[in-house]
Amino acid sequence: MASGKKQGYSEADGILLTLVLILAVFGLTMLFSTSEYNGRVRFGDSAYYFKKQLFAMSLGLLTMYLVAGMDYHFFIRLAPAAYVVSLGLSAAVLVVGQEINGSRRWLNLGPLSFQPSEFAKVAVILFLVWQIQHTKSSTSGLWFMGRTLASLLPVVGLVGSNNLSTAIIILGIGVVLIFASNSRYACFLGIGAAGVAFAVLFLAAESYRLERLAIWRDPEKYEKGFQTIQGLYAIGSGGLFGRGLGSSIQKLGFVPEAQNDMIFSIICEELGLTGALILILIFGLLIWRLCVIATQCMDLAGTLICTGIMAHMAIQVILNIAVVTNTIPNTGITLPFVSYGGTSGVFLMGEMGLALSVSSHKQQLFTYTKG
């Protein structure tokens, strides 16, 4: 294997890299436009959010560069440790976390703050791949599926206790990876049905979740539908070509925390339907490219890593846009590369680095076998 390493090395995927860079630049531009008002009003500095995000994205770029140059198997070996660390951090944040906007999701590290749940997503992808790679039994067995899902429960529980959305994303990634590693189809219909049933029970168990459903169906009637309705106003007032970059009015305090989860609505308002569709297309291309890298990889571990990253990206983009357009009930999910969030930015770029690493090592197994 070691001998094949050099031979199996090829150029990293240029298309993926280009798409990531486009998204990063676009994201920073929109973040600056969206957060300018809030920064000016709250901190007297138009670039307050932008500067922090720029720093995070630079750090992310560096991370991506370093990770892309390394063999991804190195990270798989680290996976069990990373999983344990993420459990520890997720537990720690519940105790000593910093509360922002009513949620304890951040760990303070001097001047920086760190969101363990973002780390947990990467750790889960790697840990699952590690499990699938190292299991001796068939990955098609029910026992394996059950065991693998069960291994996720601790982190899902810890993260989900204060961040339901991220827990859903982690579960989603898990299901996609197990699905991909399993040759069967029919039993996943059963899992799907069980998932729906669980969701219904889960919603019915707490009345406030049902209230969310009611708000979703008619947001104008409820005070808590404020954010949703303001997002819809922003989206609707964009029209075909938007008000123009920087000209959103809804970002002027109408959409609360416009630079966070609801940033897509401001993109719609400023760039119109055209801009919004192009952005979705770029995300679509990114997901497609991750799929291509996954399927071109001869090594199951590489395939699964890319599949996990693809699942992560797809779930977050789809859920975010679905929430902002009030297609599904409101839940807090950020838009990758665009929404404000340093930890998320760094780890997303890291994941892209991992995918680039897979792309540049895709022929490894092939050449190894040949050689």
| Residue ranges binding other proteins (CB under 8 A) | 1, 37, 41, 132-133, 176, 179-183, 232-240, 249-250, 252-254, 268, 272-273, 276-277, 280, 283-284, 287-288, 291, 294-295, 297-304, 306-307, 310-311, 314, 317-318, 321-322, 325, 327, 365
Q: Which of 105, 289 has the CB closer to other proteins?
A: 289
Whose Cβ is closer to other proteins: residue 55's or residue 222's? Answer: 222
Q: How many CB atoms lie within 10 A of CB 142?
A: 10
Closest contact distance (angstroms) between CB of 333 and other proteins is 13
Minimum CB distance to other proteins smaller for 30 or for 321: 321
**Min CB(220)–other proteins separation in Å:** 9
Burial of 71 (C-beta count, 10 Å sphere; 0-12/13-18/19+): middle
Neighbours of 11 (CB within 10 A): 9
For other proteins, the closer of residues 86 and 182 by Cβ is 182
Alpha carbons 118 and 357: distance in angstroms, whole number:
20
CA–CA dist 41, 113 (Å, integer): 22
> Which residues, 6 or more positions from 112, have their beta carbon under 8 angstroms from its beta carbon?
342
Rounded to a whole number of angstroms, the minimum distance from the CB of residue 101 to other proteins is 17
Choice between 91 and 278, CB closer to other proteins: 278
Residues 6 or more apart in contact with residue 19 via CB below 8 angstroms: 282, 285, 286, 289
What are the DSSP calls for 116-169, one per residue? HHHHHHHHHHHHHHHHHHH--S-TTSHHHHHHHHHHHHHHHHHHHTT-HHHHHH
- Secondary structure in 3-state letters for 307-369: HHHHHHHHHHHHHHHHHHCCCCCCCCCCCCCCCCCHHHHHHHHHHHHHHHHHHHCCCHHHHHH
Minimal distance, residue 205 CB to other proteins, in Å = 27
CB of 46 to other proteins, least distance (A): 14
Q: Which is nearer to other proteins, 57 or 338 (CB)?
A: 338
For the bound state, the minimum distance from the C-beta of residue 63 to other proteins, rounded and expressed in Å, comes to 25
- Between residues 9 and 288, which has the closer beta carbon with respect to other proteins? 288
Q: What are phi and psi of 299, to 5 degrees?
A: -90, 125
Give the helix/strand (H/E) hosting 171: helix 164-181
Our CB check for other proteins shows the closer of 68 and 365 to be 365
Residue 27 C-beta: closest distance to other proteins, Å: 18
Q: Least Å distance between CB 49 and other proteins? A: 17
Nearer to other proteins, 271 or 349 (CB): 271
Q: Count CA within 13 A, CB hemisphere, residue 215.
A: 18
Alpha-carbon span 61 to 252, nearest angstrom: 31
Least distance CB 303 / other proteins (angstroms): 4
Distance, in Å, from the CA atom of 278 to the CA atom of 97, rounded to the nearest integer, reads 38
